[in-house]
Amino acid sequence: MSASPSGKPSRVGDTPLVRRTLITLVLLVGAVLVLAPLIVIFAQAFSLGVGAFAATIAEPDTRHAIMLTVIVALIAVPVNTAFGLAAAWAVTKFDFPGKRLLIVIIEIPFSISPVVAGVAYLFVYGLQGVFGPALADANIQILFALPGIVLASMFVTAPFVARELIPLMQAQGRDLEEAATSLGASGWRTFWSVTLPNIRWALLYGVVLCNARVMGEFGAVSVVSGNIRGQTNTLPLHIELLYHDYQTAGAFAAASILTVLALVTIVAKVLLERQGAGRRSRVSVAAPVLLAEGQRP
Amino acid sequence: MRLFILGAAFATLLSSSAFAQAPDKILNSSYDIARELFAKVNEAYVSANPGKTIDQSHAGSSKQARAILEGLDADVVTYNQVTDVNALVKGGAVSEDWQSEFANNASPYYSLPAFLVREGNPKNIKDWGDLVRDDVKVVFPNPKTSGNARYTYLAATAYAKEKFNNDPEQVKEFVGKLFDNVPVFDTGGRAATTTFVERQIGDVLITFEAETRGIAKEFGEDKYDVVVPAMSILAEFPVAIVDRVVDKRGSREFAKSYLDFLYSEEGQRIIAEHGNRVNNEAVAAEFESQFPEVRLVRVEDVFGGWDKIQEEHFASGALLDEIYGQR
């Protein structure tokens, strides 16, 4: 995350030639792997003209897919942020038996293929699954409706925030929190005034990653969505549908919207960071001041 | 405030999918490349039956059948594989006599594996026999994963059975040679199309006739020619009412009227416009020039039904594995 300070002595082998070769290589790979496909998406989206692009976006099914994707993100990202914060807090600030196990559990979704996660949900909530028949009797629809999509998205993105926070919070230790507590601040107050200001950039980064992944999730959602157009088709599923239907320009138009949604979150992150960078020095000074305030009852 | 809006959105979505199900709305679970076809069909049906709504779900039809067994409340299915409807029968969602509920084995339209060749047909590919020539490269997806390619496999096998008087060794050799001519086995029809069209691999792409026209239309009609072989296998597109769902929702009548519409002259015309062959004589005559004559054999007649095909050809270690494994 943090940029290394300038004026560092050059390391062994860090000759201009090596440096230039490495930079060229990274730029080249970046251009081929990331930039080129991005350009292609937008070029293809507008290949049939702006009119065709607008027509795809104006189609009710596409609009619904966009809306559904945003709704899923609006639910899944805050929940996972709260979960990630709580998990990171528990793991780094407390000692308890089973701590390592908890870390492993948090990371499981990283190592499991999303499709497997989707199928697992089928086995739990499906009509042939564990809770399916009881849920059907109670007329509660989880699979092939919004709850299933949200659950699957949350499963896949559960580790993002926690994984960003745990290393940072581990490195920062508990000294500040302990000081705050000894000065009489409540747990809540300690969190808001001490912990949060220290972790907010990592937290923001975790939220951005989580959001990007929720919006782009395909595998798990594809299994539990039911693919009902205008109801349970998220944007990635809609793109696949258009693509299979030989609506190449339409598929790329929808893909460009998804790309824009992702880019918006990344740009927002950069802007927030830039705005915050100026204040960062003040924040570290401000923390003790706030703490002193916390002393007063 | 935001929470409230969210909650409201959540509730609306919930209710539209689970509760408050008015019988003026049904869900059609369909295969993945039929989006445009059913968009047109539904438009026509709704304008003839104002106030009704047909929702569409599209994906690979095996996956679709699985979703219904797991609780997706689709009132009707319109698939491209008889086996997928049979899976619903085995799961108790569709009654066993579904094929007698609608005409033509409950298949309102049909198609056949046909060839898409490059402009002017430079390799002069006319029939299945040409596909095993040494100078011909063939593209179709992996029959292990693609229903589309299973029909290709069955059509080639049916051709070989006729040609070699059912001699199993010669049939196997023929199909083996055909597989040897396939440079890449993609997992699905769409990927095979990409291989043929965008990567420019192969001399001929084998897929449903209906789709060959769609591909030519999307990627340039002057760049490809459709070749219909002299014989091929009949690919049925089965439809069925999902009894489990319509009984629960009380939507049987609506579901039936919708599927009946597929057999009506208007429905058949829309279906034919999308490259599928239909049985309605008037409409078939209208589109005669679009559909060259072809002798179609039935899966039941040549192979003794889908269960037998599964057992003898597609099950693990069966004939397809033997041929595929030789590569």
Q: What is the ipTM of this complex?
A: 0.72
Q: B14, A127: Cβ pair inside 8 Å?
A: no
CATH code assigned at A109? 1.10.3720.10
Residue A159 lies in a domain: yes
Bigger pLDDT: A84 or B15? A84
Judge whether A188 and A84 are in contact, CB under 8 Å. Answer: no
| pLDDT over 70 at A286, yes or no | no
Question: Which residues does B49 contact at the CB level (< 8 Å), separation at least 6?
Answer: B257
Report whether CATH 3.40.190.10 matches the domain B23-110+236-290: yes
- Return the half-sphere exposure (C-beta side, CA atoms, 13 A cut-off) of residue A81: 20
Bigger pLDDT: B115 or A134? B115
Distance CA A173, CA A195 (A): 10
**Closest B-chain CA to A243:** B190
In this prediction, residue A8 carries a pLDDT of 57
Q: Which domain holds residue A153?
A: 52-118+146-295
Chain B residues touching residue A145 (CB < 8 angstroms): 13-14, 17-18
- The number of helix segments (H) and strand segments (E) in chain B equals 16, 13
Pairing of strands B277-278, B113-118: unpaired
DSSP code for B289: G
How far lies A139's CA from each of A25, A61, A134, A227, B248, in Å?
Answer: 57, 26, 9, 20, 11
Q: A229, B59: Cβ pair inside 8 Å?
A: no
Token digits of residue B254: 């609506």
Share of chain A above pLDDT 70, in %: 88
Q: Which helix (H) or strand (E) holds B26?
A: strand B25-30
Task: Count interface pairs A-B at CB distance under 8 A.
Answer: 101
Chain B: residues touching A (Cβ < 8 Å): 2, 6, 9-10, 13-14, 16-19, 27, 32-33, 35-36, 55-59, 64, 66-67, 69-73, 91, 190, 214-215, 217-218
In this prediction, residue A10 carries a pLDDT of 56
pLDDT band for A158, please (50, 70, 90 cuts): very high
Write the single-letter amino acid at A234. Answer: T
Mean pLDDT (whole number) for A93-105? 89
Greatest mean pLDDT range, A172-181, A259-268, B153-162, B186-195: B153-162
In this prediction, residue A63 carries a pLDDT of 93
In this prediction, residue B5 carries a pLDDT of 52
Report whether CATH 3.30.2290.10 matches the domain B113-233+294-325: no
Task: Give strand pairing partners of B296.
Answer: B232
> pLDDT tens across B26-75, in order?
999 998 778 889 999 999 999 999 999 999 998 887 888 989 999 999 99
Do the first three CATH levels of B23-110+236-290 and B113-233+294-325 match, i.e. the same topology? yes
Residue A79 lies in a domain: yes
Task: Give strand pairing partners of B76.
Answer: B28, B241
Among B4, B6, B13, the residue to mutate for chain A (most A Cβ within 10 A): B13
Domain total in chain A: 1
- How many other C-beta atoms lie within 10 A of the C-beta of residue B144? 15
Judge whether B204 and B183 are in contact, CB under 8 Å. Answer: no
Token pair 């009380």 is found at: B250
Residue A235 lies in a domain: yes
Chain B residues touching residue A218 (CB < 8 angstroms): none
> pLDDT tens across A27-54, in order?
999 999 989 988 988 988 888 888 888 8
Distance CA A295, CA B38 (A): 69
The residue extents of the domains of chain B are 23-110+236-290, 113-233+294-325
Distance CA B234, CA B114 (A): 11
| pLDDT over 90 at B13, yes or no | no
- How many other C-beta atoms lie within 10 A of the C-beta of residue A17? 9
Judge whether B148 and A244 are in contact, CB under 8 Å. Answer: no
Q: B71, A140: Cβ pair inside 8 Å?
A: no
> pLDDT tens across B213-267, in order?
888 888 888 899 999 999 999 999 999 999 999 999 999 999 999 999 999 999 9
Residue A273 lies in a domain: yes
Share of chain B above pLDDT 70, in %: 93
In this prediction, residue A7 carries a pLDDT of 54
User: How big is chain B by its Cα radius of gyration, in Å?
Assistant: 21
Residue A283 lies in a domain: yes
| pLDDT over 50 at A281, yes or no | no
Residue A97 lies in a domain: yes
Q: Is B71 left (phi over 0), alpha (psi -120 to 50) or beta?
A: left
In this prediction, residue B327 carries a pLDDT of 58
Residue A17 lies in a domain: no
Q: A122, B73: Cβ pair inside 8 Å?
A: no
